[in-house]
Amino acid sequence: MVRDERLSEPDAERAAQAAREACSRPVADVEPISKGINAIYRIEFADGERAVLKAATFNTAAELRAEPRILSRLDRETELPVPEVLAVAEDGGSLGVFHFLLDYCEGRQIRDLDRLSPDEQERLVRDAGRNLARLHEYQLDEVEGCGPLRMTDPEEDGNGREFTTGPDRDSWGDVFASLADHPIQLVEQVQCGDDSGRFSDLVPDVVAAFEEVEEAVAEAETPVVLHLDFRPDNFVLTPPDQKCRDDSADERPIRYVLDFGDPAVGDYRLDLAFAEDATIRVAMPGTERADYLAELLRTAYARERGIDHGEIRNDS
């Protein structure tokens, strides 16, 4: 759950102190980054190396704890390019809120495909499909059931935190239906002029529609880790004049995948649909170009995972 009220963002001095404490390194400079819903800072250490500090000022600590841990697992055990986790301040340290530091990812970022040439769009879409498939190939064997990915509380016998989707294992239909909760809250809060509930009369129909779909959603045969925000704004791309980490920048333009701030476990098709929509459909809705790029995305995804399009579409 997000906080009832967003916390004030710590000033640069406090962020610098937190970075010094967490990494045991002197800090030369701190710069806030206006990206995301939690407080984020670019940290420059005295030796010139840089990091990113992310603090739970919007999400609760319980909600954000999974991000550095899933990043560490993916960094160690998969080929998915993610930033290295440098430190985790479980007790909040001098900031007083849960925070962690990541290696700063050099490269360029774009908000949508319109910033790219047609050839660059196609290379990016194919690489996005491959990287999403790499994520979905990874299995968290200790997690059963579907739902938001969180961490357990440390046990009294000293065992560390473990991944969980909660004490009550939800069906995939339940989880899918719960996706309507936040949009419904936003609809209820929309204000037009003096009318604070302009669209509130639509809420019952929206709820009913999701409840109807809930019954029709099939269980995920093999639940996977879902990113749920897989889009160009969360990619760090290789600059045109550089090579990426595997020296194949032309075909692998995505240098890093960022922001695992709200991971879940469920059916991969939802993550793939979200990625297709956010990466392609929003930028060029209702066009033949969008259909063509979507096919490239799905083909690259299916090839990387060794599945066919029929499975993606659930044509059984």
Q: Residues near 51 by Cβ (< 8 Å), separated by ≥ 6? A: 19, 23, 42, 43, 45, 86, 101, 102, 103, 104
Q: Which helix (H) or strand (E) holds 216?
A: helix 203-216
Is residue 130 located within the same domain as residue 227?
yes
Per residue in 8-31, pLDDT (tens digit) is 788 899 999 999 999 999 999 999
Within this chain, do residues 263 and 136 fall inside the same structural domain, yes or no? Answer: yes
Q: Report pTM.
A: 0.87
Average pLDDT, the chain: 86
Range with the lowest mean pLDDT among 93-102, 145-154, 161-170? 161-170
Q: Express each pLDDT in 263-316 by its tens digit.
A: 999 999 999 999 999 999 988 988 999 999 999 999 999 999 999 877 886 544
Whether 126 and 264 share a structural domain: yes
Q: Are residues 132 and 238 in the same domain?
A: yes
Domain annotation covers residue 108: no
Which residues span the domain enclosing 303?
Answer: 113-144+221-313
User: Do 26 and 90 reside in the same domain of the chain?
Assistant: yes
Do 122 and 212 belong together in one domain?
no
State yes or no: pLDDT of 247 exceeds 60. no
Helices 118-137, 288-305: crossing angle, 10 deg rounding: 40
The strand pair at 147-148 and 150-151 is best described as: unpaired
User: How far apart are the C-alpha atoms of 260 and 75, rounded to whole Å?
Assistant: 13
Q: Is the pLDDT of residue 157 over 70?
A: no
Q: What digits encode the pLDDT tens for the residues 188-202?
A: 776 666 666 677 888
Residues 237 and 305 in one domain: yes
- Tell me phi and psi for residue 38, to 5 degrees: -100, 165
Cα–Cα distance measured from residue 278 to residue 272, given in angstroms and rounded to the nearest whole number: 10
Domain-embedded: residue 245: yes
Q: Which residue, among 228, 235, 223, 243, has the nearest Cα to 273 in the 3D structure?
A: 228
Collapsing DSSP to helix, strand or coil, 57 comes out as: coil
Question: The domain that contains 225 carries what CATH number?
Answer: 1.10.510.10
Are 25 and 123 found together in one domain?
no
Q: Is 53 a domain residue?
A: yes
58, 172, 226, 229, 239 from 259: Cα distances, Å: 14, 23, 12, 8, 20
% of the chain exceeding 70 in pLDDT: 86
Same domain, yes or no: 210 and 241: no
Q: Is residue 61 part of a domain?
A: yes
Count, residues in the chain: 316
55-105 pLDDT, tens digit each: 988 878 888 999 999 999 999 999 999 999 999 998 888 888 999 999 999
In a domain, 162, yes or no: no
Residues 135 and 228 in one domain: yes
Give the mean pLDDT of 108-120.
91
Pair 124, 230 in one domain: yes
For 170, phi then psi, to 5°, come to -85, 150
- pLDDT mean over 204-226: 82
